[in-house]
Amino acid sequence: MIRQVSIFMENHEGRLNNLLNILAENNINIRSLNIAETMDYGIVRLILQETDKGIEVLKKHNIMSSLTPVLAAEISDQPGGLSILVEALTKEKINIVYAYSFLPKKTDNAIVIIRVEDEVLEKAIETLKTVPGINLLDRETLLLI
Amino acid sequence: MYWNKSYECMPREKLKELQLERLKRMVARIYHDVPFYRNKFQENGIMPEDVQSLSDLQKLPFTTKVDLRDNYPYGLFTVPLEQIVRIHASSGTTGKPTVVGYTRNDIASWAELMARSLVAAGGRPHSVVQNAYGYGLFTGGLGVHYGAERLGASIIPISGGNTKKQIMIMKDFGSTVLTCTPSYAIYLAEVLNDMGIDPESLKLQIGIFGAEPWSESIRKDIEKKLKIKAYDIYGLSEIMGPGVAIECECQNGLHIWEDHFIPEIIDPITLEVLPHGTQGELVITTITKEGIPILRYRTRDITTIIDEPCACGRTHLKISRLQGRTDDMLIIRGVNIFPTQIESVLLEIGEVEPHYQLVVRRDGSLDTLEIKVELNEALFSDKISNLEKLEHRIKERINSVTGINAKISLVEPKSLPRSEGKSQRVVDLRKI
């Protein structure tokens, strides 16, 4: 389980730029970014190199953020790699709320970030741990990759 | 039934004599004890002795909320703090609240008037009163509480919020009278419905609702959904708190307790006193208050004085159901909307003080209302579906309270302009 920083943002030009500038000025590296959008607003989801520092910096700039626990799973980067994971969750009737991919540095494998409902988070972890070929990462090991 | 028949049904001539005597005493006291009033009188070249008839009241200066704020916190008190037994304050949305103090006699008068009000609306010593007004600095909770105790009813001091618990208590304790804001009553009715509880199975008979303006259609809606009679109560902390005026069983205007208050209606622009029956701003003078007597207080509430005999037998003048506020009422497609209504819906959903802004536009001939709501940590979710559900819930609630289909826009925290007055919560872009 790793920590994702979620930020609410109005859907205007310049808003994302403002956020990125704040993080850049404070030397906080973004490891992964995903934006979910509606007509009027979006939610920016970030995996940061230094989550705690990032949260602090955002707070200082009056940007509200919340921490969401998400799963980071290392899977093999070939056709069918992801479906092993999804199949395992489906079998346990665990719904994926959203997912996006993460760019690993030192491995040939792919990493996918998955958000499930909070109530089934533990169950999802237990399930994926037992699936061969899937390596669940905690934050530390993830960032070393 | 009356609580205090000799006062409530006092012949009008006698009532006016009583008012004049009390007014003269009050004017003399504030002149001698409060520099603020003395200065105002002197600026206008008036002496307390100039008040010889009730119509002389018109010569005297008004008092406004700004005066109360300027004299924050205790500047308008006429007695030393050692004689004050309770302090209340009204919620300033931002800035300083308005502070009022009560002597032991003030608390007793308030309980008396609140007891009268409860009885007028059908409350009895055997009533079980579920008081869902907030307890605290706000006058609603404790005001109703003391009146119910004076009446001898059984009061349940549950205060506001915690709707499921309210319903459990209503069921198990057999509440017969509910006191809260009308918007909360609607919400309670909806939750009852969602929980599959038939209101007929409850012992609830009467609702006494106030602290925000509501319409006749909301009354009908509440009466139908909760299977009760719903009564309107009026009050404001600057004057006393709940129980300044109450509807009787005729449900045709609210009797204002004239042995304690003198009501006037003025034109809010020219400040001229208007004849009875004309709509304008309600001005109230307290004639018995000891802690903080207030001269000609501009309530900003819009109403009419109804000067006709009432079938209930009470002789005190009535004010019509409040038509709105001089400062922040909006009329959208013929419907009166008050920021306070929006506020209470948001409060109910978010359980924190909401920051919001109402934007009114005219598209062709149709007025539209957009409600911008600032997200906060309690409302935020990283799931779009949750935010959409939140928008939908707010929209539904606003619709059931006001009848207006508003567009709800979630905006970033701290992005709306912060202002001193509530009026700036409204942006009216209509060019009419």
Spell out the domain ranges in chain A.
2-67, 69-144
Which domains are delineated in chain B? 1-326 (3.40.50.12780), 330-428 (3.30.300.30)
Per-residue pLDDT of chain B (432 residues; tens, 9 = 90+): 999 999 999 999 999 999 999 999 999 999 999 999 999 999 999 999 999 999 999 999 999 988 998 999 999 999 999 999 999 997 654 457 889 999 999 999 999 999 999 999 999 999 999 999 989 998 999 999 999 999 999 999 999 888 899 999 999 999 999 999 887 888 899 889 889 999 999 999 999 998 777 778 778 889 999 999 999 999 999 999 999 999 999 999 999 999 999 999 998 878 999 999 998 899 999 999 999 999 999 998 989 999 999 999 999 999 998 877 776 767 787 676 777 778 778 877 876 667 888 998 988 778 889 999 988 888 888 899 999 999 999 999 999 878 889 999 999 987 887 654 334 578 888 765
Other beta carbons within 10 angstroms of residue B356's beta carbon come to 19
Q: What is the pLDDT of residue B221?
A: 85
Among residues B169, B163, B227, the alpha carbon closest in space to that of B198 is found at B227
- A60-108 pLDDT per residue, tens: 998 999 999 999 999 998 898 899 999 999 999 999 999 998 877 778 8
- B118-148 pLDDT per residue, tens: 999 999 999 999 999 989 998 999 999 999 9
What residue in B sits closest to A39 (Cα-Cα)? B409
Q: What is d(CA B191, CA B195) in angstroms, rounded to the nearest whole number? A: 6
Q: Would you tell me the crossing angle of helices B35-43 and B12-33 to the nearest 10 degrees?
A: 100
Q: Measured between alpha carbons, how far is residue A100 from residues A82, A134, B46, B152 in Å?
A: 11, 16, 77, 65
Q: What is the pLDDT of residue A53?
A: 93
DSSP state letters, B104-145: HHHHHHHHHHHHHHHHHTT--TT-EEEE-SPPSSSHHHHHHH
Q: What is the pLDDT of residue B326?
A: 75
At the top level of CATH, which class does the domain A2-67 belong to? alpha beta
Angle at B239 between CA B237 and CA B245, to 5 degrees: 95
CB A96 within 8 A of CB A89: yes
Q: Measured between alpha carbons, how far is residue B408 from residues B22, B366, B387 in Å?
A: 51, 17, 11
Q: Which residues of B touch A98 (CB under 8 A)?
A: 383
Nearest neighbour of B412 by CB, restricted to A6, A8, A45 = A8
Q: Which residues of A touch B375 (CB under 8 A)?
A: 8, 64
Q: How far is A33 from chain B (nearest CA, A)?
A: 13
Kindly tell me the number of DSSP H helices and DSSP E strands found in chain A.
Answer: 5, 7
Tokens standing for residue A46: 């970030």
DSSP state letters, A6-75: EEEEES-TTHHHHHHHHHHHTT--EEEEEEEE-SSEEEEEEEESSHHHHHHHHHHTT--EEEEEEEEEEE
Q: Which of residues 21-80 of A touch B (CB under 8 A)?
A: 36, 38, 40-41, 43, 45, 62, 64, 66, 68
Q: What is the pLDDT of residue B186?
A: 82
Q: Which residues of B touch A97 (CB under 8 A)?
A: 383
Among residues B417, B354, B428, the alpha carbon closest in space to that of B390 is found at B354
Q: Which residues of B touch A41 (CB under 8 A)?
A: 387, 410-411
* A103 touches B: beta carbon within 8 Å: no
Asked whether the ipTM of the predicted complex exceeds the cut of 0.90, the reply is no
Q: How many CB pairs under 8 A join A and B?
A: 43
Positive or negative CA dihedral for B190, B192, B195, B199?
Answer: negative
Residue with token string 């909320």: B65
Q: What is d(CA B368, CA B122) in angstroms, rounded to the nearest whole number? A: 40
pTM for the full predicted model: 0.65
Q: Which residues contact A138 (CB under 8 A, 6 or more apart)?
A: A1, A2
What is A69-144's CATH number, 3.30.70.360, 3.30.70.260, 3.30.565.10, 3.40.50.1860? 3.30.70.260
Residue with token string 């198990």: B172
Q: What is d(CA B312, CA B94) in angstroms, rounded to the nearest whole number? A: 42
Q: Measured between alpha carbons, how far is residue B162 from residues A50, B14, B191, B377 in Å?
A: 39, 47, 11, 20
Residue A142's pLDDT band, with cuts at 50, 70 and 90, is: low
Contact: B384, A115; criterion CB under 8 Å: no
Amino acid identity at B108: A
